[in-house]
């Protein structure tokens, strides 16, 4: 059992704090945030203690950084003197975008560092989180971290190249999926379905389809073909999507997210 600290309790920091709480692997959860009321609300959910950044740096065995990248220099000025005084072992866990391991090691030195890239559905325990460790992280620290994060959804050790290639799917994908749900609902409303039901049915359909693909391991095309009866309505809808460039639009959207980063 370890003390887990979070500096930054926004969407992702809060989601991972909830995962740590649900794992039952944390002896204590420390929460620090620029807006204290946000940390206080989260503390009620995860049975945490609201502290300041220095207290997290002083006491946490795993220090999660959920701040915006542009705030890292200010944070380093605040917590590095505290970290430099520590004689015990600690692990830095960074959620900061645009900060690969090499850059994090320049910030914090040769200490154990884990870089994790969670996505928005992590907040409901159905996310995709890839993580990579530097050579200072032990096997035991890696295993504990995995167990701590497992309640957040799919958690997978990776490498930084795979992280970059997966970003458009797992990181940006929730926005694309939400647009698809919204468009489905708009179509349903156009033919007479009430808006609230249209959103609910579309979202549940997407959830169920994803669960089927994960459970069966089938190629998505197999599921698509199984729904398309000869001469039926579904194949006509598929025809219209193809005619409108649906598949190419999605492919180009994912490629565009990758090219934006690099």
Q: Can you give the residue ranges of every domain in the chain?
A: 2-157, 171-261
Position 98 scores a pLDDT of 85
Fold adopted by 2-157: Rossmann fold (3.40.50)
Tokens of 28: 């204590």
- Residue % of the chain over a pLDDT of 90: 95
> What is the residue whose two structure tokens read 């809060």?
14
Pick the CATH number of 171-261 from 3.90.110.10, 3.30.870.10, 1.10.760.10, 1.10.3730.10: 1.10.3730.10
pLDDT, tens digit (0-9, with 9 covering 90-100), for 116-169: 999 999 989 999 999 999 999 999 999 999 999 999 999 999 999 999 999 999
Separation between Cα atoms, residue 6 and residue 48, nearest integer Å: 10
Q: Residue 110 carries which DSSP code?
A: S
Position 260 scores a pLDDT of 84
Mean pLDDT of 236-257: 96
Average pLDDT, the chain: 95
Q: How many Cβ atoms sit within 10 Å of the Cβ of residue 131?
A: 21
Q: Residue 88 carries which DSSP code?
A: S
What's the pTM value of the predicted model, to 2 decimals?
A: 0.90
Q: How many Cβ atoms sit within 10 Å of the Cβ of residue 25?
A: 18
Quote the Cα angle for 160-164-167, to 5°.
130
CB 162 within 8 A of CB 129: no
Give the CA count within 13 Å in the CB-facing half-sphere of 40: 3
Is pLDDT of 262 > 80?
no
Separation between Cα atoms, residue 33 and residue 51, nearest integer Å: 8
- Residues of 148-157 as b/e, b for ≥16 C-beta within 10 angstroms? bbbbbbebee
Position 37 scores a pLDDT of 94
Nearest to 30 by CA among 61, 71, 69, 67: 61
Residue 48 buriedness (CB in 10 A; 0-12 / 13-18 / 19+) = buried
Task: Decide: helix, strand or coil at residue 93.
Answer: strand
Give the CA count within 13 Å in the CB-facing half-sphere of 7: 29
pLDDT, tens digit (0-9, with 9 covering 90-100), for 2-59: 999 999 999 999 999 999 999 999 999 999 999 999 999 999 999 999 999 999 999 9
Is pLDDT of 1 > 90?
no
Nearest to 134 by CA among 91, 165, 167: 91
Position 215 scores a pLDDT of 95
Going by their DSSP bridges, the two strands 153-157 and 127-133 should be labelled as: parallel
- Residue % of the chain over a pLDDT of 70: 99
CB 65 within 8 A of CB 95: yes
């Amino acid at each position: 059992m370890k003390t887990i600290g979070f500096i930054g309790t926004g969407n992702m920091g809060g989601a991972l704090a909830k995962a740590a709480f649900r794992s039952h692997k944390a002896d204590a959860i420390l929460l620090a945030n620029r807006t204290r009321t946000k940390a206080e609300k989260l503390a009620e959910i995860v049975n945490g203690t609201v502290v300041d950044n220095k207290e997290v740096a002083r006491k946490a065995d795993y220090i999660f950084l959920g701040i915006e990248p542009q705030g890292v220099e200010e944070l380093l000025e605040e917590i590095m003197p505290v970290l430099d005084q520590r004689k015990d072992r600690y692990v830095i866990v960074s959620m900061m975008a645009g900060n690969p391991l090499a850059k994090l090691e320049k910030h914090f030195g040769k200490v154990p560092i884990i870089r994790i890239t969670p996505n928005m559905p992590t907040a409901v325990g159905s996310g995709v989180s890839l993580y990579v460790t530097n050579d200072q992280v032990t096997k035991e620290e890696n295993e504990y971290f995995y167990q701590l994060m497992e309640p957040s959804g799919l958690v997978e050790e990776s490498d930084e190249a795979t992280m970059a290639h997966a970003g458009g799917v797992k990181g940006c994908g929730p926005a694309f999926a939400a647009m698809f749900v919204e468009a489905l609902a708009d179509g349903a409303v156009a033919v007479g379905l009430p808006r609230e039901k249209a959103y609910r049915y579309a979202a549940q359909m997407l959830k169920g389809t994803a669960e089927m693909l994960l459970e069966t391991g089938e190629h998505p095309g197999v599921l698509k073909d199984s729904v398309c009866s000869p001469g039926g309505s579904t194949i006509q809808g598929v025809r219209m999507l193809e005619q409108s460039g649906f598949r190419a639009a999605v492919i180009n959207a994912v490629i565009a997210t990758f090219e934006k980063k690099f």
